Structures are given as structure tokens and as C-alpha cells.
Structure 1
Amino acid sequence: MRNIDGGFLAAPDQASLQRREQDVRKGKLALMLAVVGGFVALIAGYNVFVDFSPVSLVVTMLGLAAAVGGGVLTKHLTRNVRFRVHKPNAGLVGAAKLTGLLVAFFGIAALLGAIEAPGALRVVLIAGGVGTIAYVKSLHDQQWVLFELDAVGVRIERTVVPWRDVARLTIDPVGPGMTRLGAVPHNAAPLYVAVQDSELDQRHLAAAVGRFAPQGIQLAGGQSFPVN
């Protein structure tokens, strides 16, 4: 096991890492489409905001369409790479963060346009905006994930257990609208996390176990434990 903040207790095997890397490559094209579309939309949107023209508006709309389409496709393909259960309202909070960043970006863009800032400074603003959005999204995903399955193993909050250390997976109802997911290692204490049913798609969970878990590891109801 390892904690994602550092401190490996058992490294995942190389074959699992290679398998995950192969799966990740499948979604890179869609992700690239989303990133390029977002970058184009930011640049064209900046021009629309500072010096409106019909061409800039059309390019902005096309960029947004590519970004949204690429994002939806990436989300679909990601199911072949990993399965995640987030904290409640993770999507809403993520959208609020993105909205705040975009408001700040266009506010600074308007200020630079008003003072007729040099082009190099505008390029820095665009590059910084894209980098900041990518960083905030990555940090958001790390902080708001409660449970994750992929080719390497199982993540329970901030602890990762490689598949070779997993004896079984458990799922138990623990209260109204709540389900507890768990991983029982061979030679360590079980790990559990309670998630809201609104955030858990049990059909996708079962499919992910069948896709990622080694043969012999099943998802089954465990004993009833109180939720801390």
C-alpha cells in the first residue's frame, strides 16, 4: 500500500503500470481535442472581449464546441481507464472553481485591453490561464476522490492498495442514502469509505471490478460495520 502524499509500502507491479499507460493513451486524442479547443476558445474569446469581430466570435464558439465535445468524449473513454466515486457536489464545486477562474481571466484581459498592454503580456496571460485551469482541475480531482479503481489497484481516499495486495472488495449499505466501499488487503487492516448513493453507480462499479480486478477478486457484501 502507499499513501498518495508519499511513503510507498508496496509498489505496484510493472505490468499493471504498463497496462494503465496503454489505457491512458486511448483517451489522449480526445483530451487533446478538449485542450486545444479550450485554448482556441480562450484566445478568440479574449479577442472578442477586447476587440469584437464576427470572426472571433465564430472561432470562440467553434473552440467551445471542440472543448465540450472533447471533454464529453474524454469522460466516456476514461471509464476504460478508471472508475471513481467523488465526494458530494464535486462536480458543482469544480464548475464553480472553473467559473471563478474564467471570470478572473476575462477581468484581467479587460484591464490589459484598457491599458493597451503589449502583446507579450497578453500571451503570458493566456498561457498562465490555461496552466492554472489544468493545475486547479488536477488538484480538485485529487482532493475530491473518495474511491477509485484502475489497472494498478484500489484507492480508498488517499491510500492506494495494489491489486496483488487485495484479498477482496466489499460493498455494504450503512444508512439511508449511504454505501460503504472497502478493500481488504491480505496482510493489513481493511480500508473503508462511506459514499453517498447519489455519487455511486453500482452498475459501473461492477463493470469496473470485472475490467480491472485480477481473476478471483470479487465485489461482495461484507460484514456490517458502523461508519465513523
Structure 2
Amino acid sequence: MRNIDGGFLAAPDQASLERRERDVRKGKLALMLAVVGGFVALVAGYNVLVDFSPVSLVVTMLALAAAIGGGLLTKQLMRAVRFRVHKPNAGLVGAAKLSGMVVAVLGFIALVGSLDGPGVLRIIAIAVGCAAIGYVKTLHDQQWVLFELDAVGVRIERTVVPWRDVTRLTIDPVGPGMTRLGAVPINAAPLYVAVQDTELDQRLLAEAVGRFAPQGTQLTRA
């Protein structure tokens, strides 16, 4: 097991890591489309604010469409790479964070532009802003994901158990609108987390177990 803030206590199989890397590559093209679209939208959007022109507006709209389309495609492709259950309202909170970051980045870029700095300084400001947005997205995922399955293993909150250490997975109703998910390691205490039923699709969970878990790993009652 490992904590996502530290190293593996029992490293996963190299084959599992390679399998996950191959699967992740499938979504990189869509992610690149989203990133490039977002970058172009920031640049063109800045030009719309400081020196409006129909061309800049059209480029901004097309870039936003590419960014949104790439983001949706990335999400769809990543479903084949991992299964996640989030805390309630994770999507809304994440969208609010990203929206706030975009507004802050645009304001920062406008401030840099108002200082009559060189063009390269504006490009650096945009790159820093995009990196900050990516960091906020990664941090949000770490804080708001409760349960995750992928080719490497099972993540329960901030603890990851490689598949070779998992004997079985568990699912139990624990109250109105709540379900407890868990993993039973070979030589460690079981790990559990309660999730809201509105955040859990049990059909997708069963499909993910069949896709990612080694043959013979069962999803049972605790």
C-alpha cells in the first residue's frame, strides 16, 4: 500500500504500470486539444479585451469550443482508464475553482499587458496561468476523489493498494442514500469509505472491476 503523498510500501507490478501508461496515452491527444484550445482562447480572449476585433472574437469562440470538446472527450476516454467516485458536488466545486482561476489568469494577463511589457512577458504570464490551472485541477482531484480503480490497483481516499495485495472488494449499504466501498488487502486491515449513492453508479463499478481487477477478484458484501 502507499499514501498518495508518499512512496509505495509494496510496489505494483511493472506490467500494471505499463498497462496504465498505454491506456493513458489514448486520452493524451484529446487532452492536448483541450490544453491548446484553452491556451489559444486565453491569448485570443486577451486580445478581445484590449483590442477588440471580429477575428479575435471568432478565434476565441473556436478555441473555447475546441477546449470544451477536448475536455469532454478526455473525460469519456479516461473512463476506460479509471473509475472514480467523488465527494458530493465535486464537479460543481471543480468548475467553480477552474472558473475562478481563468478569471484570475485573464486579470493577470491584462495587468501585464497594461504595464507595456515585452510580448514574451505576456506569453510567460499565459504559460504560468495555464500551469496554475493544471495544478489546481490536480490538487482538486487528490482532495475530492474518495474511491478509484485503475490498472494499478484500488485507491481508498488517499491510500492506494496494488492489485496483487487485494483479496477482494466490498460494497455494502450503510444508511439512507449511502454505500460503503472497501478493499481487503492480504496482510493489512480492510480499508473502507462511505460514498453517496448519487455519486456511485454500481453498473459502472461492476464493469470497472471486470476491466481492471485481476481474474478472480470479486466484489462482495463485507
Q: TM-score by structure 2 length?
A: 0.97
CA contact (8 A) 2:169 2:182 kept: yes
Give the superposition deviation at 1:7: 4.0
Give the superposition deviation at 1:50: 1.1
Q: Secondary structure at the match of 2:154?
A: strand
Q: Secondary structure at the match of 2:168?
A: strand
Give the superposition deviation at 1:208: 0.4
Q: Secondary structure at the match of 2:30?
A: helix
Matched, 1:77 2:39: no
CA deviation profile, 1:57-83 (whole Å, cap 9, x unmatched): 000011001111111111000011100
Aligned partners of 1:73 and 1:120: how far apart in 2?
A: 32
Amino acid at match of 1:207: E
Q: 1:2 to 1:112 in 2, by over 3 A?
A: closer
Aligned partners of 2:189 and 2:174: how far apart in 1?
A: 19
CA deviation profile, 1:20-59 (whole Å, cap 9, x unmatched): 0110111111111111111111111111111111001000
CA deviation profile, 1:112-169 (whole Å, cap 9, x unmatched): 3444333222112111111100111111111111100000100001111111110100
Aligned partners of 1:212 and 1:46: how far apart in 2?
A: 44
Aligned partners of 2:104 and 2:48: how far apart in 1?
A: 16
Aligned partners of 1:54 and 1:162: how far apart in 2?
A: 53
Matched, 1:170 2:170: yes
Amino acid at match of 2:16: S
Aligned partners of 2:51 and 2:112: how far apart in 1?
A: 12
Match of 2:48 in 1: 48
Structure 1: 4+ residue segments shifted above 4 A: none
Matched, 1:125 2:104: no
CA deviation profile, 1:73-123 (whole Å, cap 9, x unmatched): 110000111001111111111111111111112222333344433322211
Matches within 5 A, 1:12-161: 12-161=12-161
Amino acid at match of 1:199: E
Q: TM-score by structure 1 length?
A: 0.94
**Structure 1: tracts of 5 or more residues without a match:** 223-228
CA contact (8 A) 1:50 1:109 kept: no
CA contact (8 A) 2:42 2:106 kept: no
CA RMSD of aligned residues (A): 1.1
Aligned length: 222
Amino acid at match of 2:35: V
Deviates more, 1:43-52 or 1:120-129: 120-129
**Structure 2: tracts of 5 or more residues without a match:** none
Q: Secondary structure at the match of 1:219?
A: strand
Deviates more, 1:100-109 or 1:53-62: 100-109
Matches within 5 A, 1:176-191: 176-191=176-191
Aligned partners of 2:160 and 2:137: how far apart in 1?
A: 20
Aligned partners of 1:156 and 1:105: how far apart in 2?
A: 33
Amino acid at match of 1:165: D
